[in-house]
Amino acid sequence: MCGIIGIKGNDEVAKELFVGLLALQHRGQNAAGISTYDGERFYYKKDTGLVSRVLSEEYLRRLHGSIGIGHVRYPTIGSGGEEDAQPFLINSPVGMAMVHNGNIVNYFELRRTLEKRRYLNSFCDVEVLLNIFAENFDKDPFKATEKIMDITNGGYSVIAIVSGLGLFAFRDPNAIRPFIFGRRGENYIFASESVVLQILDYKVIKDLEPGEGILIDENGKVTQRIIKKGAPRHCIFEYIYFARPESFLDGLSVYQKRLNLGKELSKETQRQGVKPDVVVPIPDTSRPTAIALAEELDVPYREGLIKNRYILRTFIMSTDEERAMYIKYKLNPLVSELRGKKVLLVDDSIVRGTTSRQIVRVVRNAGAKEIYFAISAPPIRNPCYYGIDMQTRSELIAREKSVEEIREVLKADALIYQTLDGLTRAIGKESFCRACFDGDYPTKIKGKEMLEIEEKRKKVTRKKTAGADLFDV
Ligand code: SF4
């Protein structure tokens, strides 16, 4: 999961890129970077860490130019180190800089071929995309991208600066990762989420179509083309968890979809005969879902867990005790709202179950009489290979265990998952990827590709968190 932004303006764009990246910080806290171009040379600054740490005032003043791109990173492939931070730059056949959000499924195969003739410095898949783009570039970015779309398999939204040409963006043929295009006067913007356009006062022009490329040349002329047509399969998980609630993705309100998830979840809660005294969200993503669920059940909605947003995942958690302490520091119970009550906790998803189990323990210790756990998403049974770090097959708790067995692991009094039908009614089916729930991947993935991605992911995950669910708290 990453966030990207690109602006073609008339004046310096570094500060706008910086503000845009702050609005996308939720999509990746591992690294950040900006590259700009002033018509003569490229400037860049990238490093591991949050946007505000990497891009100080001093650095922003040095990033000159009216064209620029920016990136926040959550590593899905690569070490997560400084060498994998984006943007990536190249100076042949012309100067180019590139950022992307997504994941290339056949990355290792492409890398092996490329390495025979080019030197690669990282394990970041945008470096491979940039090299293929550069090798096939002969004044026409659409043709170079046609080659990328012909030989790559995956989900990707990409923005590039090409010297002497302008700002160029493209989205994969299934439009898996979100990508929006907007305008403010003579300035143009591309971004992962509409919230960036809203904050920077840009008007939405459109979401990029599947397989579409858009070029804004140095004079501001816009050229749009469908490079490779495909059926849309937008990531449904963006609506459940990743995107900010203010965003509209492919025309749909994330907040409204989360409310819908709560309404659907109430049906399953009632079907199971669960009758809570209070509905409590696990902050922050599940709030709208919990609000709608409480309304439908006609039960009070309360904040029962207060999140300390200044604690970041900066330390390695290798033991159960360390993980328990992390949750304790991060989520503090509001005892007055929990003690002696039958509490229905609402969360967006369960990956390994490690975090959920700790949360149940925290709420139990706060004196809750009974604890029920409701999940916005259906059981996650398959990893994502399109840019979301969802562990490996063997680590997904719902792959091997039944719902009842998971409830026992969590030590909850009831476990209520969203059903696939409920998910379909809440968000939709036809134009969405929901492979992590139903295994129906939008592109064909070879067993070897799955293994290579998972092998690499295991190593990265061990290094990053050593055991906690990656996107729970
Ligand atoms: S597999 Fe899941 S997380 Fe990945 S793109 Fe599809 S819906 Fe999104």
In three state form, how does the secondary structure of 267-283 look? HHHHHCCCCCCEEEECC
Q: Which distant-in-sequence residues (6+ apart) come within 8 Å of 175 by Cβ? A: 207, 208, 209, 210, 211, 230, 232, 233, 234, 250
User: Domains along the chain?
Assistant: 2-232 (3.60.20.10), 254-428+446-464 (3.40.50.2020)
CB-defined site of ligand 1, < 6 Å: 155, 176, 235-237, 384, 386, 388, 433-436
Q: How far is CA 422 from CA 62, 99, 209, 284, in A?
A: 51, 35, 27, 22
For the chain, give percent helix, strand, coil, nearest 5: 35, 25, 40
Could you give the CA distance from residue 37 to residue 326 in angstroms, rounded to a whole number?
A: 42
Determine the pLDDT at residue 472. 39
Determine the pLDDT at residue 428. 87
Mutate to test the pocket of ligand 1, among 2, 74, 177, 386 (most ligand atoms within 8 A of CB): 386
pLDDT digits (tens, 9 = 90+) for 424-457: 999 988 899 999 999 999 999 988 888 887 777 6
Closest C-alpha residue for ligand 1 atom 8 = 235
* Ligand 1 atom at minimal distance to the Cα of residue 435: 1
Could you give the CA distance from residue 341 to residue 23 in angstroms, rounded to a whole number?
A: 37
Could you give the CA distance from residue 85 to residue 73 in angstroms, rounded to a whole number?
A: 7
- Is 433 annotated as catalytic? no
Nearest to 473 by CA among 320, 353, 331: 331
**Ligand 1 midpoint to CA 443 (Å):** 12
* Ligand 1 atom at minimal distance to the Cα of residue 437: 2
- Spell out, as residue ranges, where the chain has pLDDT lower than 70: 75-80, 312-320, 391, 457-473
Catalytic residue among 2, 124, 235, 384: 2
Q: Report which secondary-structure segment, H or E, holds 31.
A: strand 31-37
Query: Tokens 């920016």 sit at which residue?
Result: 70
**Ligand 1 midpoint to CA 155 (Å):** 10
**Ligand 1 midpoint to CA 141 (Å):** 28
Closest C-alpha residue for ligand 1 atom 4 = 384
How far from chain centre, in Å, is Cα 220? Answer: 30
Determine the pLDDT at residue 126. 96
Query: Tokens 């809570």 sit at which residue?
Result: 276
Could you give the CA distance from residue 10 to residue 13 in angstroms, rounded to a whole number?
A: 8
